[in-house]
Amino acid sequence: MAQVQDINVAICGHAWHGKSTLVGKTVCELGLVGRRDLENYERIARQGRDHSLVFALLVFRQKDPTHPTDEAARGITVLPSFVRFEFPTHRVTVIDTPGQENYTNNRLSGLFSADCAVLVVDVKDGVKQVTEQVLRVLRGYEIPLRGVALTKMDEVGYSEEAFLEGVELVRTGLRMYGIPDADVTFVPTSAYAPGRSIYEPGEGITRYTKMPWYKGPTFHGFLGQLDFRAIRPRSPLRLVIHSADVHEQVPGIGTAVTALVESGTLRRDQTLVFEPLGMEQGEPLTAHVRSVELTKGHVATPGIPVQEAIPRQLVGVALQRVTPKVSLRDVAKNRGIVAGTPDDPPRVAREIEAEITVFDPEVPVSPGIQWTLHAHVDKVGVEIQAISTDADRPADRLIGGEWARVRLAAVRPIAIEEAARLAPLAKLVLRESNRPLGFGRCLKIIK
């Protein structure tokens, strides 16, 4: 019997374009939440920002509308959330990523965990600032775009003309950033509409009734057609963890993390070593794996215990015997970490040689420039120490398509791999403020 394939799909795009609502409505139409629970979420939505959040609440991690910083009160995704959908031949874990500029770091960490992406665009609003930022990150992390959901079709009267105009605008944006669009599926949707009962099916979620002119799949049908046959590196073990997914004092468990198996295999009773935390602590920081399960989503998608987790699976890992006696959540705060095994721990660097390119010709790349470097789910401030190009001119500007070798010095250690050894963990995106400027890969760890 063939192994069920796991596919991680990032839902990404500008704020208020309907990402969480689209995913939550799909949950409803598949019957993954009962009527009584849905009525409770409707009540919570009325206490929060507005009634339209009823479906988004199924996906949000934070559901307290009385707490001003919670997602329910603000109506925005703060932390990436996970929802799993089951199909006969594969499982799709949807990663709902933040669309607000203030949560760029969380958006990048969610995107890194994806095998492919679906871009969500309001059919009236079109391509916005964060939409373009997302396209740059997809290019930098080499994440294929498989679908585009054009949302809020009810606001344009379910018009085919409006849909086609939206498709062309998005295709223009894709081409601007060198993202292939020939195999991208465009899906018109309407998950929520004012005056529509929350129990009434939407449009383009699991069925079509108001758009007979569209002959493609529904959103759920699109997920069911995904087939992502990628080569998965099986060794060494690398487990990628964001600090927001470290939990302590979990009832009946203790310390637990939600993590991505990037390479290798993860089993019960293994000992893990965490970097760059060990280097910073001055001694190895280790823990013992108590159990592993496919990660539990934020709706009725329970965790699935597994004997062995394989590359690109999102898993929940229960840990015990954390040594030394520290709070793993505290020492990992506001950053990403990578776990490996004591005999082959993650590489750590303070200074690297990288190959980079930039999106805009006017972006300076001279020595002394300071940027934020994103690698996997971590971020760190870096400074360009030296630069060289093949061009016969001063290396203070890069034109489109031109690459340069740079020496980057980080303000603190970061877990990163060399491209020749483990390419996925060598990828990097460079950012200034909230704007991705360029991308590349680590070629060599200098020190």
pLDDT in tens, 391-430: 666 667 777 778 899 999 999 999 999 999 999 999 999 9
Same fold, 5-225 and 238-340: no
The ranges of the chain with pLDDT < 70 are 1-3, 48-50, 61-76, 78, 229-234, 300, 391-395
- Specify the pLDDT at position 92: 93
CATH number of 5-225: 3.40.50.300
Residue type, 88: P
Level-2 CATH architecture, domain 348-445: Beta Barrel (2.40)
Please answer whether residues 19 and 150 qualify as being in contact, where contact means their C-beta atoms are separated by less than 8 angstroms: no
Residue 214 φ/ψ, nearest 5 degrees: -90, 130
- Looking at CATH, the fold of the domain delimited by 238-340 is given as Elongation Factor Tu (Ef-tu); domain 3 (2.40.30)
What pairs with residue 257 in β-bridges? Answer: 246, 317
In 3D, which of 119, 56, 70 has the Cα closest to residue 299? 56
Question: How far is residue 119 from each of residues 9, 22, 28, 381, 429, measured CA to CA in Å?
Answer: 10, 12, 21, 28, 19
- Specify the pLDDT at position 128: 93
User: Domain residue spans in the chain?
Assistant: 5-225, 238-340, 348-445
In 3D, which of 318, 346, 365, 331 has the Cα closest to residue 414? 346
Q: Look up the pTM and report it.
A: 0.92
- Specify the pLDDT at position 1: 42
- Specify the pLDDT at position 143: 94
Please answer whether residues 331 and 251 qualify as being in contact, where contact means their C-beta atoms are separated by less than 8 angstroms: no
